[in-house]
Structure 1
């Protein structure tokens, strides 16, 4: 049974931080406590953990602030994602371990999620698509490093969907290109497709 702090941390990280309407807002601790069914103490403990991860900012006498995704954060996030994912593509091909069927299943599930109310589910599948490739390498430290980016990746992905009306369809096309290159065991084409995909999302976010 998860503790109150664990419940609060999970809800904040997976739901509140990824809500576009919460960008630039302060967290209402009491409302959140009532929603989860815990006291305010676990909420504050969870916020301290998130502040240590630099996912929220604690402002004296005002509380926890969820800053909009900034340009530097965007550039750094996509730079490290490109490094990890391009390496994973090359290494998975070398190992003959590309999870084609798993990635194809994530992509198929993405295609079924078209409504604005399904944006979070769409980006969850997006993360699953990319994480499957990273996990296939079999390097636990690499997978943990990539998983640590999950909250930022999901947050940025959802913001990108709402920033550009055509982004959802473009993501599907870009994922198809990545999968085709991986299935063909063309490491350079796969790395190029991943780089193009990440660059496109980054540009949408930087354009605001």
Structure 2
């Protein structure tokens, strides 16, 4: 059974920090404690962990602040994602280990979601990409990629809220990636991934 700190940490990382409305806001520790049924101590312990990951800022006498995603953070996130995902595409094709069925399931699930299910849409988005990274079989690489998850989901949800047509574009871009992977064309797959990430980055940096 997970501890109170673990429950608070998971809730903060997966729900609170991915909410665009929380950008530029302070975390209400008591409200959060009441919401998930723990005391404020596990909340504070979880916030210390998140501060160490630079996902929140601890401000003396004010609490934990969720800073808006900076241009520098966006640039660095997508540079790292491009390096990992393009390598994974080339390597998975080389190993004949492309997880086409798993990626197709995630894409099909994305298509079935309503406009209000932005968070669920981005959860499937993350699993679509992480399936490809995991297929390489490099545990250190997968752990590094998984470490980006909170920032990736936060950025993805924000992109959907900023651009009305982004959801449709993501589905089309995912199809392009799958087509290139299915064709066993590493350069086309890397190009499709690069274009997909660049499009999301441009939406985030346009504001």
Deviations 1:12-64 (A, max 9, x none): 00000001111110000000000011110000000000000000000000000
Partner of 2:169: 170
- Which residue matches 2:204? 205
**Is 1:53 matched up with 2:21?**
no
Deviations 1:95-144, CA, capped at 9 Å, x for gaps: 0000001101100000011322x000000000000000000000000000
- Tell me the residue number matched to 1:131: 130
Question: In 1, distance between residues paired with 2:106 and 2:200?
Answer: 19
Residue 66 of structure 2 is matched in structure 1 by 66
Equivalent in the alignment of 1:25: 25
Q: How much has 1:160 moved relative to structure 2?
A: 0.2
Q: What are the equivalent positions in structure 2 for 1:91-102 lying under 5 Å apart? A: 91-102=91-102
- SS across alignment from 2:96: coil
> What is the TM-score when the length of structure 2 is the normalising length?
0.99
Q: Distance in 1 between matches of 2:114 and 2:190?
A: 27
- SS of 1:55's partner is coil
> How many residue pairs end up in the alignment?
207
Gapped regions of structure 1 (runs ≥ 5)? none
- Quote the residue 1:142 is aligned against: 141
Distance in 2, matches of 1:175 and 1:70, equals 26
3-state secondary structure, aligned to 2:31: helix
Runs of 4+ in 1 over 3 A off after TM superposition: none
Give distance in 2, aligned partners of 1:7 and 1:139: 28
Aligned to 1:42: 42
Report what 2:178 is aligned to. 179
